[in-house]
């Protein structure tokens, strides 16, 4: 009897949580993008990730309660050339067969000046997790929320580009992950 | 026999050297499988060479417009005059068109040129995945046409030097 009550209570709790999480947004993949901007022999190049999943729980009334979870298919980075795309999935770069996803999970989202949010969380790429904080802008576009931001990282911290690719004069250590997410309730 | 001006001679051999280097590097770099720092380096150098070929071509065209080349010997048959004029005109067109097509190709691929690693050159067109394979093909076909014409140009010069022994080559020798 006790277990049934517990189960009932638990399911009620889940239901109420689900109700309070009505601010969970549905991401529009066609109007969302994640890209990596890096310098190759000092030439800025932008490559986009074709596959990613972004789950954002955001209510404009309570932005401090927002959460975000991002999963990116590392093998989906498009450098514009099939040969190069195969290359970046290899062991020296993303090692996509062993680490198919790069993830970001927010731990705290705080409203800051200028209608922006400061997002803190854990970024995991190639099995390495790093705490990151970056600014995020939120705009309302015809009932949809548009989140935009850029997160600078150091590729070598994540061991992206091993061996001869460690040379940052060829591919710079600084990489900016740029994203734009359009989501609606 | 009247010779080309010193400037014309200098520009001619400079572009010849640059074109041979750019062509060889283009051949080598596209033969490297996969991706390597060396390959990326060669691509950059190839682009810098191409930009230099274009700059020298501009200088040559300007010089050519204001300085007529020495006339061909009066004994030159009509068909040879026509062939010579035609080949030279096409060579002029291609030493512009090949670098331009390569430049547009790299822009379409989303990789602008930082000349010598120092100067950002204008991105005349936006990255364009549809245009990219087309420009690649154009760059390749025009490059091979240029290579063919250069071969013809060299063979003709060698014919004059070693078969006709008319000393025509001396007009262009430093």
The distance of B53 to chain A (nearest Cα, Å) reads 21
- The pLDDT value given to residue B16: 97
In the predicted structure, residue A4 carries a pLDDT above the cut 90: no
Q: Is A25 helix (H, G, I), strand (E, B) or coil?
A: coil
Chain segment A113-136, per-residue pLDDT in tens: 887 999 999 999 999 999 999 999
Interface touch B114/A170, C-beta < 8 Å: no
- The pLDDT value given to residue B34: 82
Mean pLDDT of A54-83: 92
A positions 68-97 inside 8 Å of B (CB): 80-81, 83-84, 87
* Sequence-separated (6 or more) residues with CB below 8 Å from residue A185: A22, A23, A25, A26
The distance of A164 to chain B (nearest Cα, Å) reads 7
Mean pLDDT of chain A: 89
Dig out the tokens for B106 from the structure: 């790299």
Interface touch A43/B44, C-beta < 8 Å: yes
Helix residue spans in A21-136 (DSSP H): 82-88
* Sequence-separated (6 or more) residues with CB below 8 Å from residue A20: none
Chain segment A154-184, per-residue pLDDT in tens: 999 999 999 999 999 999 999 999 999 999 8
- For A164, the closest of B37, B44, B127 (CB atoms) is B37
In the predicted structure, residue A18 carries a pLDDT above the cut 60: no
What's the alpha-carbon Rg for chain B, to the nearest Å?
18
Give the pLDDT band of residue A11 (cuts 50, 70, 90): low
The distance of B13 to chain A (nearest Cα, Å) reads 30
User: Which residues pair with residue A104 across a beta bridge?
Assistant: A70, A123
The fraction of chain A above a pLDDT of 90, given in percent, is 72
Mean pLDDT of B98-125: 95
The fraction of chain B above a pLDDT of 70, given in percent, is 100
Interface touch A41/B112, C-beta < 8 Å: no
Kindly list the domain boundaries of chain B, sorted by start residue.
6-171
Chain segment B71-99, per-residue pLDDT in tens: 998 989 999 999 999 999 999 999 999 99
- The pLDDT value given to residue A82: 87
Higher pLDDT, A1 or A126: A126
Helix residue spans in B5-67 (DSSP H): 6-31, 37-66
A164 at interface of B, judged by CB pairs closer than 8 A: yes
Q: Which residue has the tokens 């070693």?
A: B162
Q: Give this complex's ipTM.
A: 0.77
- The pLDDT value given to residue A19: 46
Chain segment A52-62, per-residue pLDDT in tens: 999 999 988 88
- The pLDDT value given to residue A61: 87
Helix residue spans in A55-96 (DSSP H): 82-88
d(CA B11, CA B62): 11
Dig out the tokens for A185 from the structure: 């309730």
Q: Model-level pTM greater than 0.90?
A: no
The distance of B122 to chain A (nearest Cα, Å) reads 13
Contact yes or no for A184/A28 (Cβ under 8 A): yes
Q: Which residues of B touch A171 (CB under 8 A)?
A: 37, 40
**Which domains can be identified in chain A, with CATH numbers?**
24-184 (2.40.128.110)
* Sequence-separated (6 or more) residues with CB below 8 Å from residue A172: A38, A39, A40, A42
> Fold for domain B6-171?
Fumarate Reductase Cytochrome B subunit (1.20.950)
- The pLDDT value given to residue A6: 66
Q: For testing the chain B interface, which of A36, A40, A43 should be mutated: the one with the most B CBs within 10 Å?
A: A43
How far is CA A96 from each of CA A93, A124, A173, B35, rounded to the nearest angstrom? 8, 13, 20, 17
Instruction: Of A138, A151, A149, give the one whose Cα is nearest residue A177.
Output: A151
How far is CA A85 from each of CA A50, A80, A95, A130, B13, rounded to the nearest angstrom? 11, 8, 12, 25, 40
How far is CA A65 from each of CA A40, A57, A182, B34, rounded to the nearest angstrom? 39, 8, 19, 46
d(CA B49, CA B57): 12
- The pLDDT value given to residue A12: 53
- The pLDDT value given to residue A13: 52
């Amino acid at each position: 009897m006790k277990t049934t009550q517990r189960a009932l209570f638990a399911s009620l709790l889940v239901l109420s949580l689900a109700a309070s999480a009505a601010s969970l947004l549905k991401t529009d993949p066609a109007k969302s993008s994640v890209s990596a901007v890096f310098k190759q022999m000092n030439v800025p190049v932008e490559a986009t990730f074709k596959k990613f999943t972004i789950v954002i729980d955001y209510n404009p009334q309570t932005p401090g309660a927002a959460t975000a979870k991002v999963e990116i298919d590392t093998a989906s980075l498009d450098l514009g050339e099939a040969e190069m795309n195969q290359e970046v999935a290899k062991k020296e770069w993303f090692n996509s067969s062993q680490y198919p996803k790069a993830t970001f999970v927010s731990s705290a989202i705080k409203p800051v000046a200028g209608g922006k949010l400061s997002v803190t969380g854990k970024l995991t790429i190639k099995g390495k997790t790093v705490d990151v904080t970056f600014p995020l802008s939120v705009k309302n576009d015809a009932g949809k929320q548009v989140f935009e931001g850029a997160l600078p990282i150091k590729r070598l911290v994540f061991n992206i580009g091993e061996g001869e690719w460690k040379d940052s004069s060829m591919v710079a250590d600084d990489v900016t992950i740029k994203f734009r997410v359009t989501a609606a309730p | 026999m009247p010779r080309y001006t010193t400037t014309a001679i200098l520009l001619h051999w400079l572009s010849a050297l640059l074109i041979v280097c750019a062509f060889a590097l283009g051949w080598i770099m596209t033969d490297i499988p996969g991706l390597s720092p060396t390959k990326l380096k060669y691509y950059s150098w190839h682009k810098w060479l191409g930009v230099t070929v274009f700059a020298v071509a501009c200088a040559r065209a300007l010089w050519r417009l204001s300085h007529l080349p020495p006339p061909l010997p009066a004994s030159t048959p009509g068909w040879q005059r026509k062939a010579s004029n035609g080949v030279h005109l096409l060579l002029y067109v291609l030493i512009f068109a090949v670098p331009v097509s390569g430049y547009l190709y790299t822009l379409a691929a989303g990789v602008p040129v930082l000349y010598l690693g120092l100067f950002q050159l204008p991105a005349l067109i936006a990255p364009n995945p549809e245009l990219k394979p087309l420009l690649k093909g154009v760059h390749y076909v025009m490059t091979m046409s240029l290579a063919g014409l250069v071969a013809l140009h060299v063979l003709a010069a060698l014919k004059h030097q070693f078969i006709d022994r008319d000393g025509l080559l001396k007009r262009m020798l430093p």
